[in-house]
């Protein structure tokens, strides 16, 4: 058992005049629920894409437990236990809900090239268990495209769990949801992750969501990890406030902090 579930060392990526990743370093412990936040353009998606094999870094390495997975294609990563979801809901719209999960379970069991078996009832118990876990028990036959946005997100989660992952990468998991739904949704993920011992790394814009569940927060800014730590520490960090609220906002926040201190003392 390695010390870390995921380690990122010195990752660089350059795109058309922008250094999207500028010496990114990350170390996530097994079972951790890690949030990666940062303003738009900070490089969160780039980092995610490099970890999940959709992008090759210019320099640097990615380690999954002790294995160097730098630059490996996504389908290989799925097989060794890394799953990811996408910002824009990514499901198989043309397939039924059950088929969505089945295709992932079949793939996990290396059956995707089996031409003579029949997929109809394949791994049905496992698929149903997954659907039940995310709260979609009765929608098997429905076309995935017909589901509500929230249900599609649940389906996406079920599919991501199909390979019994050790690491789950969630790209803006609550994007597009109504505010009330978001906390409930991320709490469900948190609960499942704890239950199954999955390490989770997720990106998020909504701070309430982040503070509700994150063990540790990494703040990205202009391709670098600016600061890292427990939620309370990050919330009060002046640099973080500055990058989110701009220079003026940072001053205002500092003033608010100072006021809070004097108020507490008094």
Partner 1 sequence: MIRTVAGAVLLVAVLACAPLPLSDFWIFVLVQMMDYALYAVAFNLLLGYGGMLAFGFATFFGLGAYTLGILQVRLGFDVVPAVLAAPLVASLFAAVIGYFCVRLSGIYFGMLTFAFQMLAYAVFIKSYDLAGGDDGLHGLVVPGIVGTPRGIYYVSLAIVALCLWVLARIGSSPFGLALRAQRSNVNKSLAIGINVKLEKWLAFVIASFFAGVSGALSGLATQSVFPDWLDWRASAVPIVMAILGGTQRFIGPVIGACVYVVLQTVITGMTEYWSMIMGVLIIGIVVLMPNGIVGFFRLRHE
Chain positions contacting partner 1, by CB under 8 A: 52, 54, 73-76, 78-79, 83-84, 86, 90-95, 99, 102-104, 106-108, 111-120, 122, 159, 162-163
> Of the two residues 12 and 92, which places its CB atom closer to partner 1 in the complex?
92
Tokens matching residue 35: 């949030």
Cα–Cα distance for residue pair 202/172, rounded to 1 Å: 7
C-beta of 158 vs 243, nearer to partner 1? 158
User: Would you say 114 or 184 has its CB closer to partner 1?
Assistant: 114
Q: How far is the CB of 29 from partner 1 (least distance, A)?
A: 24
Task: Supply the minimum distance, in Å, between the C-beta of residue 201 and partner 1.
Answer: 15
The secondary structure of 68-87, three-state, reads ECCCCCHHHHHHCCEEEECC
Q: Which residues pair with 24 in a beta bridge?
A: 11
Closer to partner 1 by CB, 160 or 216: give it: 160
Please report how close the Cβ of residue 55 comes to partner 1 at its closest, in angstroms.
12
Closest by Cα among 212, 206, 208 to 189: 212
Burial class from Cβ neighbours inside 10 Å (0-12, 13-18, 19+) for residue 230 reads: exposed
> Closest approach of Cβ 157 to partner 1, in Å?
13
Q: Which is nearer to partner 1, 192 or 245 (CB)?
A: 192
Query: Which residues 6+ apart lie within 8 Å of 164 measured at CB?
Result: 81, 108, 196
Smallest gap, in angstroms, from Cβ of residue 233 to partner 1? Answer: 33
Residue 117 CB, nearest approach to partner 1 (Å): 6
72 vs 244: CA distance, rounded Å: 34
**Count of H helices and E strands in the chain?**
9, 10
Q: How is residue 236 written in tokens?
A: 């009060």
Least distance (Å) from partner 1 to the CB of residue 196? 18
Q: Using the minimum distance from each CB to partner 1, give the nearer residue, 111 or 224.
A: 111
Choose between 125 and 247: whose C-beta lies nearer to partner 1.
125
Q: Which two tokens stand for residue 157?
A: 């989660």
Q: Which two tokens stand for residue 62?
A: 């990615």
Shortest distance, position 17 Cβ to partner 1, whole Å? 25
Nearer to partner 1, 82 or 189 (CB): 82
d(CA 213, CA 190): 7
Q: Whole-angstrom Cα distance, residue 140 to residue 96?
A: 7
> Per this entry, what is the length of the chain?
266
Nearest to 214 by CA among 248, 249, 190: 190
């Amino acid at each position: 058992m390695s010390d870390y579930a995921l380690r990122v060392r010195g990752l660089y990526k350059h795109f058309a005049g922008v250094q999207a990743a500028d010496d990114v370093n990350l170390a996530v412990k097994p079972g951790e629920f890690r949030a990666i936040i940062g303003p738009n353009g900070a490089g969160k998606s780039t980092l995610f894409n490099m970890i999940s094999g959709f992008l090759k870094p210019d320099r640097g390495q990615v380690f999954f437990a002790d294995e160097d997975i730098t630059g490996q294609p996504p389908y290989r990563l799925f097989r060794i236990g890394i799953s990811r979801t996408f910002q824009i809901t990514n499901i198989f719209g043309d397939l039924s809900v059950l088929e969505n999960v089945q295709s992932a379970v079949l793939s996990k069991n290396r059956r995707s090239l089996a031409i003579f078996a029949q997929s109809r009832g394949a791994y049905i118990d496992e698929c149903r268990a997954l659907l039940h876990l995310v709260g979609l028990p009765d929608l098997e036959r429905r076309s995935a495209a017909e589901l509500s946005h929230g249900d599609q997100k649940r389906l996406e989660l079920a599919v991501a769990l199909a390979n019994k992952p050790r690491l789950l990468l969630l790209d803006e998991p609550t994007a597009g949801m109504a505010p009330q739904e978001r906390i409930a949704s991320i709490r469900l993920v948190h609960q499942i992750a704890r239950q199954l011992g999955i390490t989770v790394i997720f990106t998020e814009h909504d701070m309430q969501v982040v503070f509700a569940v994150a063990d540790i927060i990494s703040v990205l800014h202009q391709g670098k990890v600016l600061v890292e730590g427990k939620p309370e520490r990050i919330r009060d960090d002046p640099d973080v406030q500055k990058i989110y609220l701009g220079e003026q906002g940072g001053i205002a926040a500092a003033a608010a902090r100072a006021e809070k201190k004097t108020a507490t003392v008094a």
